[in-house]
Amino acid sequence: MGRLGCKCGRVLSTVDSPNDVGLMAFEGAKIKELMVASPDMLLTDVMLDHDIQGKSYWYCNDCGRVYAFRDDHQMYNRVYMRCDCDAKSDDVDDILRLRELYFYTDRQVEEPTESDFGYTLKAFLDSPPHPYRFFSTPDGSKVYAFDTTSNSITHYYALESEHDDEVSAEA
């Protein structure tokens, strides 16, 4: 929990919980594996045990930047800037073959479980809080947002800056 000044001037804070700044990140392959093995797994168990370990992410609702932190660092080590995109259908097919990630804010994941402790992963994925699936390039320099309602890439996050020796790590 903490505070950070975004490059746009907004103060980001994860002090309150749930919040719209902290992002929970999940590997698409892991979520698919869980859906096959135990779709009735409680969402709280998924949150606690199956997020991407060693990384945390913060999101600025004002400018759309994403800050990536490694657990062993005090400050963020990567900043991603939101960019609009109108990918051609040929590009979309290639993008959908990349590493899939799921990102949800702390609030999006926690709110369903506050009123229903038995809320399952399947229920969450059947009615997700947003229509996006994310796909990262191998070097983590871009993360594409695929809108499942329009079946198109509506925007992407481009690596704006790196702040340590993490050169080839994933997004």
Task: Report pLDDT for 171.
Answer: 52
How far is it, in rounded angstroms, from Cα 76 to Cα 4? 9
Q: Does residue 59 lie within any of the structural domains?
A: yes
Task: Report pLDDT for 73.
Answer: 63
Instruction: Decide: residue 74, CB within 10 A, 0-12 exposed, 13-18 middle, 19+ buried.
Output: exposed
Task: Report pLDDT for 19.
Answer: 95
Q: Which residue has 């702390």 as its token pair?
A: 106
Q: Does residue 168 lie within any of the structural domains?
A: no
CA distances from 129 to 104, 108, 118, 134, 159 (A): 8, 6, 18, 14, 25
Q: Does residue 169 lie within any of the structural domains?
A: no
Task: Report pLDDT for 53.
Answer: 82
CA distances from 112 to 19, 118, 121 (A): 14, 10, 11
Task: Report pLDDT for 41.
Answer: 93
Give the residue ranges of the chain where pLDDT is below 70: 1, 72-74, 86-90, 164-171
How far is it, in rounded angstroms, from Cα 110 to Cα 92? 31
Q: Does residue 146 lie within any of the structural domains?
A: yes
Task: Report pLDDT for 35.
Answer: 92
Task: Report pLDDT for 168.
Answer: 46
Q: Does residue 170 lie within any of the structural domains?
A: no
* Owning domain of residue 102: 3-162
**Size (the chain), residues:** 171
Task: Report pLDDT for 20.
Answer: 95
Neighbouring residues of 162: CB distance < 8 A, sequence distance ≥ 6: 77, 78
Pair 132, 144: CB distance under 8 Å: no
Q: Is the peptide bond preceding residue 18 cis, with omega within 30 degrees of 0?
A: yes
Q: Does residue 79 lie within any of the structural domains?
A: yes
Q: Does residue 167 lie within any of the structural domains?
A: no
- Counting the structural domains of the chain, the total is 1
Task: Report pLDDT for 17.
Answer: 87
Q: Does residue 62 lie within any of the structural domains?
A: yes
